[in-house]
Structure 1
Amino acid sequence: MTGWMALTPEEWMAVRLSLWVSLVAMLASLPFGILVGMLLARGRFWGRAVLDILVHLPLVLPPVVTGYLLLLTFGRRAPLGAFLAEHLGIVFAFRWTGAALACAVMGFPLLVRAIRLSVETVDRRLEDAARTLGAGPAWVFLTVTLPLILPGILAGMILSFAKALGEFGATITFVSNIPGETQTLPSAIYTLIQVPGGETGALRLVLVSVAISVTALLASELLARRMAKRTGD
């Protein structure tokens, strides 16, 4: 790439960090997303409505509020944050790990919703048939349920990744805007548009963000179609 389209080392750093943070956020939240999606789709327990509200709360709360709540919970002076830092060496505040946590929280509702809707479309008679043949709950889930809900899982993963890639409010509130450590694509764009003459760099990063998002959505659609064909065969 030459001319005005060539990214500077700082811009490349923001791109790489955004991709890494988004990937970690998506993968770390995936097991919890599957579990919560299954619970909300099929669970019958006290507090189910409360769990549903808590899961979807980041969608309606201002992202800055979510970031501030994360800071109150996982900050170095917070009881939980201090315990994790002193006993386990895990630090979230003002680290890239905190950016991943904020992105995971913001993308979690989209992940859960896609999985939940996919679980609700599964024909329970197929699972019952597997149980009558002697399969245990874990084997039924792995061999029957999981393949059937895989398109929904893939769609949820891509939505979660895309949300993490574009997250700004919660991230900048929780981990600030530190180049090379917590400065993701949205933060870098915000910084550039505040600096005289930074519009060109901001435009470059905007184009990169659009290209990554479109690629992710196309990949999600192709994977979902392929998995739907496999499960339908």
Structure 2
Amino acid sequence: MTSRRKLVVGNWKMHGSHKANAELLEGVLAARPFGADVAVCVPFPFLSETAVTLAAGDIRWGAQDCSAHEQGAYTGEVSAAMLREFGCRYVIVGHSERRAYHAESDQLVADKAKIALAHGVTPIVCVGETLAQREAGETAAVVKRQLSAVIHTLGHCVAEMVVAYEPVWAIGTGKTASPEQAQEVHALLRAQLQAATPRAGEMRLLYGGSVKPDNAAQLFAQPDIDGGLIGGAALKAADFAAICRAAG
């Protein structure tokens, strides 16, 4: 049995309002205690109110992206230092939606992970293949390439990040990788990390992709799956709480 404590992170994506956020967080807080670490990654405008709401509890908060730059003339960007000022514990980098819609390269994702760590914010580095890549038998090559850039950029700090495997074909589609499919990729990633750091056994690898209350326990029971990065279900307090309980 692993000693790694499970981690469940809600990714709100571009959803939320003052009223909806208050109701959601109130519901999640009321469902405690959980037997896993729990966090929510929220849109930038809601970081302040989320920090205030969660300040006295054990649920952490984070952001969904950060700039690869320290500061400067980068209109619309948000720096890792700014996130740290808001008490962010985590920041998601390299989500497939960022890679697809904003043309983020493997190296840019790696640079974002590096600057986040430099400011004391833990990057949740996302990797994953498209349906076409899976059907072509390219899953291993794709995720190893994506993770390799981060490993080489972080160097000895690589064990400080969290990795999230999110098959693109399972994000927001209602489809999910079977526990066996997900474990196969997680084991591959763990082996790649073991070649880079003696602390790979301590690192938490999350699964994301249509995780729901009815499949979470099976997924989290796999030996190399240490929790989840949750999208749609994170917007419903009862569903998110159920997934957090499944991780405990």
Give the shorter-chain TM-score range: under 0.3
Where is the strand percentage greater, Structure 1 or Structure 2?
2
Where is the helix percentage greater, Structure 1 or Structure 2?
1
Larger Rg: 1
Greater RCO structure (CA 8 Å; 6+ sep): 1
